[in-house]
Amino acid sequence: MQKKRVVLGAGPLGLAVMEELLKQGKSVKVISKSGKASVPNGVECMKCDVKDLDQLRNSLHNASIIYHCIGLPYQDWQTQFPEIMDNIIQVASENGAKIVYGDNLYGYGPQKVPLHEEMAYKPVGKKTKVRAEVATTLMEAAKNGKVQATIGRGSDFFGPRVKNAILGERVFTHLLDEKPVELIGNPDTIHSHIYIKDFARGLVILDDQKSANGEIWHIPHAKPTSTRDLVEQVSHKLNKKLKYRIANKFIITIGGLFNSDMKEFKELMYQQVNDFTVDSSKFTNKYEFHVTPYEEAIDETVAWYLKEQERKGEAVIS
């Protein structure tokens, strides 16, 4: 009997997981707050407020694998992420379902060496603290036998649908529109970025592996390089002249007085002014995995942005 897989969250990561599951011939249902998402024919997209335990029970009825790929605005993390995780754990426990949590690296805080799974958390503010707390909650529930669960972590991702990211529309769309690329911090530091399709494929591997249960895993990233190097690769691919607008720590601090997003990002500036790299050897030593080369990942991402720009142009004309 095929496992019943449900993806919570219809953002870039949730939809990338959906596509990977479909690619492997596995059925999947997507759950989003609005009940609307860009899903293929035959894939159900169900509306659910995951903060409502009864709604979540109904949406996850008979689920055997639950992918937690929910994203929230920074300002909602502290108030909503703990409640959401508690509800997912509760319903998964009732169903006997396994949780695969797509997490980021914020909980580790500033570190001087590549990030690895055995590191102690070093939160430096409310966002890094809450990410550490919800991950700890899930791993403690797994350790205590309440649920089966695993965590797959990735750094800043880029790729199709990923607009609000370091390598998002402020790079790809701005280059297409011949506007300055907007970056934060020091683009010449070494920084791990992960292609979103690799992130999704890694999470799907963890879904099928009993050996992954109760453990945290860093999904493999391509060899880290500078953000500037990747931006230059994109501009070369698009054959566009490259101009920059770079916000340093001072600009972020002043901008935070007037812009809530900048204010929230100030806590995370350490990731953009120091080397920020990931050790994925635990994963690669255990599971077979082919990382998508930057050139291929950038080609696919450029193709998506070009198609998106064409779609928007057609919408304006009509």
Q: Per-residue pLDDT tens for 85-105?
A: 999 999 999 999 999 999 999
Angle value at C-alpha 31, between 82 and 203, nearest 5 degrees = 70
Question: What is the sign, positive or negative, of the torsion defined by CA atoms of 116, 120, 123, 129?
Answer: positive
Q: Per-residue pLDDT tens for 9-66?
A: 999 999 999 999 999 999 999 999 999 898 998 899 999 999 999 999 999 999 999 9
223 DSSP 8-state letter = P
251/27 Cα distance (integer angstroms): 47
**Tokens matching residue 315:** 């919408």
Can you list the alpha helix ranges (DSSP code H) found in the chain?
12-23, 53-59, 77-95, 126-143, 172-176, 196-208, 227-238, 249-255, 260-265, 270-273, 281-286, 294-317
pLDDT at 260: 55
pLDDT at 224: 96
R_g of the chain computed on alpha carbons: 19
pTM as predicted: 0.94
Q: In sequence order, what are the residues at sequence separation of 6 or more whose Cβ sits closer than 8 angstroms to the Cβ of residue 94? A: 57
71/163 Cα distance (integer angstroms): 13
Where are the chain's structural domains? 5-158+192-222+276-292
Ranges in the chain, pLDDT < 70: 1, 248-265, 313-318
HSE-CB at 260 with a 13 A cutoff on CA atoms is 4
Does domain 5-158+192-222+276-292 match CATH 3.40.50.11540?
no
